[in-house]
Chain A
Amino acid sequence: MRITVKLFATFRTDRFKIEEREVPSGTEVGHIVRELGIAESELGIVLVNARHAALDQQLQEGDILSLFPLVGGG
């Protein structure tokens, strides 16, 4: 199935801003995160189709996964 991955802020560095990917049916959000080399500790907001998602959520055909890094400074 095809999904779209959107990366924000520092996650774009040496990766991409937006990319379509072919993944096996039932792929979990966490699998994509690991495949991208993003550590869980770096994760801020995780959205699937503009809704907050857990890392074990299974993606569906056509889903848009958006990943934002953790921002906590002041």
Chain B
Amino acid sequence: MKALQTFLRQNADDDLLAWRHQLAAAERFKLSLAEVEAAIFEAGLLPARYQRNRRMISTLQQAQLFRSLVAVIGCGGLGGYILEQLARLGVGRIIAIDPDIFEENNLNRQLLSTPSGLGRVKAEVAAERIAEVNPAVTLRPVRELLDRSNGPELLAGADCVVDAVDNVTARLDLAEICSELDIPLVHGAIAGWYGHVATILPGDRSMQTIYRHWTGGKGVEQQLGNPSFTPATAASLEVGEVCKVLLGQGALLRNRKLSFNLLDMEVEEIPL
């Protein structure tokens, strides 16, 4: 596609390509916005929407994020914020998995929930939202409960999996599946004012350690519920870890768990 490369270079401002030119290229060359974005990176250019990323994420790294595939398990409290941040960060391919529909009690915290969306499939709403936020991102919605039977197929090829589920059984299963598939897993859980995050690489037994005293049932979230800011906090910490996993940068939250208490504003690091 030499003509496309020429078009992109001609319309770039220094090395930044504005959104309107990306749209024009898609129309002119009959390509998807994702295909144009891939060509922008191939030309060594940067989509202008990422210009405020570039002091911390180079164009090469941004291209790496664009090529990455991240699976988010759960599109509720944690998942809504995680999906939003992954798409804005520029992760190019996302799988959003959730079997549920939106209910009224989701509205106090779940980013993807709105009064007009009550009764709608969470994964499908996620796809619509991400298509609005960053149309160059390819999001595959999956309305299924992830378990040990469908997990290996649904998660195959993912560079990172993000835990945004709401129960311990699913988390323990997820940790086993990811370990078997050799995929890093970023774990987060919340309850009321409290939450924790940990990054689990294949072979680590962190999830089993975190829940070693679990006897069944829910945690304190059952008594406390969850407000708006706790899922947003845990989700942000998780996405920061995903970014580092994908880019191989920084010190991961591995073999340790960060527990936060927003009521007393305390943070504890627990060895795993």
Partner-B contacts on A (CB < 8 A): 8-10, 12, 40-47, 50-52, 55, 68-74
Say whether, besides A68-B259, A71-B191, A74-B165, A41 and B215 are in contact (CB < 8 Å): yes
Contact A10 B259 (CB under 8 A): no
At the interface, is chain A mostly helix, strand, loop or mixed? mixed
A9 touching B193 in the complex, CB below 8 Å, given contacts A52-B212, A72-B167, A74-B164: yes
A52: B residues at CB distance < 8 A: 209, 212, 272
Q: Which residues of A contact B167 (CB under 8 A)?
A: 72, 74
**Of B163, B164, B223, B268, which contacts A8 at CB under 8 A?**
B268
- The interface of chain B, by Cβ under 8 A from chain A, is 74, 76-79, 163-168, 171, 188-196, 209-221, 223-224, 226, 231, 257, 259, 261, 263-264, 268, 270-272
- In the bound complex, do residue B168 and residue A72 qualify as a contact, i.e. CB atoms below 8 Å apart? yes
B215's nearest neighbour on chain A, judged by CB, is A41
7 contacts between A and B (CB under 8 A): A8-B261, A42-B220, A45-B257, A71-B195, A72-B166, A74-B167, A74-B231
What residues of A have a CB within 8 angstroms of the CB of B223 in the complex?
Answer: 10
Contact between A8 and B259, CB atoms less than 8 A apart: yes
